[in-house]
Amino acid sequence: MTPYILSMPSPIRDNTALSRFELDAGGVTAYMTYRLAGGVMTLNHTETPVAARGRGMASQLVAGALDEVRRRGLRIAPRCPFVSDFLARHPEYRDLVA
* Rounded Cα gap, residues 10 and 33, in angstroms: 18
The CATH homologous superfamily to which domain 13-96 belongs is Gcn5-related N-acetyltransferase (GNAT) (3.40.630.30)
Q: For residue 25, is pLDDT > 90?
A: no
The confidence score (pLDDT) of residue 11 equals 87
The number of angstroms, rounded, from the C-alpha of 7 to the middle of its chain's C-alpha atoms is 17
**Please, where are the H alpha helices in the chain?**
57-72, 81-89
Q: For residue 7, is pLDDT > 90?
A: no
pLDDT tens by residue, 27-79: 899 999 999 999 999 999 999 999 888 889 999 999 999 999 999 999 999 99
User: Which of 6-10, 56-60, 92-96 shows the lowest mean pLDDT across its residues?
Assistant: 6-10
Domain ranges for the chain, please list them: 13-96
Are 49 and 38 contacting, i.e. CB atoms less than 8 angstroms apart? Answer: no
Residue 4: pLDDT band (50, 70, 90) is: very low
Residue 10: pLDDT band (50, 70, 90) is: low
The confidence score (pLDDT) of residue 26 equals 82
**Of 75, 80, 69, 68, whose CA–CA distance to 32 is shortest?**
80
Angstrom distances, CA of residue 33 to CA of 8, 52, 59: 22, 18, 14
